[in-house]
Amino acid sequence: MELRGQFPINTRSIGSWILLSLIFHFSFVFCSGVRVNAEDKELSQDSNHFLLYQGKPLTGILIQRNPILSEIYETEYYKGVPHGRYTAKKENETLMEERNVRYGQKHGKQISYFENGNLRQKSEFDNGKPISESIDYFDNGQMATYQTFYDSGKPKITKKWNKRGQIYLNHVFLETGESFGRPGSKLCDPIPEGEKNLP
């Protein structure tokens, strides 16, 4: 049984597809900006504190190294302003922090980690304003701080615990700034099980 002619291959459309793929690939690679080390002599700032590279606002990634902490920071810039993703990694590539920035303001999810890989902090922002909730953890994984926010970005609830799991601050805030709760209250030992039902 001969199959010739049943499955025609249109070489013209394959060639066009390959050409479009190559154009897309090269435009993505060459138009996505540059990677610049913070020590580069061609970096400067203008009077408005926009970061310039070779005299033009930087669109690309700024790489900064911290030899004392053995960390590398990468910040995406768009037209001289932090815009996009920010990461902090150890030199062994362990992710320590990941933030999203929109025109210089925190925007979206913000996450950081301890060196052991445990979650250190997570929060979310909308154009620099905290939204939803923010949680800090101890390196053992226990919650250290819990906060929620009003739409205005002002705190609504704040709770803090020590490493033993005892709460030492429990505040509720009105949007006017007034607060209710017990800041700095003394920590008490828990009531033993047998004594909870005494009159």
Residue 163 in any domain: the answer is no
pTM, entire model: 0.71
Instruction: Give per-residue pLDDT as tens, 159-175.
Output: 999 999 999 999 999 98
* Segment (H or E) for 17: helix 11-31
Residue 62 in any domain: the answer is yes
Instruction: Give per-residue pLDDT as tens, 139-162.
Output: 999 999 999 999 999 999 999 999
Residue 166 in any domain: the answer is no
Instruction: Give per-residue pLDDT as tens, 30-86.
Output: 445 799 999 999 999 999 999 999 999 999 999 999 999 999 999 999 999 999 999
Residue 65 in any domain: the answer is yes
Residue 146 in any domain: the answer is no
- Give me the number of domains the chain comprises: 1
Say how far apart CA 58 and CA 107 lie, in whole Å: 20
Instruction: Give per-residue pLDDT as tens, 107-144.
Output: 999 999 999 999 999 999 999 999 999 999 999 999 99
Residue 6 in any domain: the answer is no
User: Contact at 8 Å (CB) between 63 and 34?
Assistant: no
Instruction: Give per-residue pLDDT as tens, 21-39.
Output: 545 444 443 445 799 999 9
Residue 116 in any domain: the answer is no
Residue 71 in any domain: the answer is yes
Say how far apart CA 197 and CA 199 lie, in whole Å: 6
Domain with 46 in it: 34-106
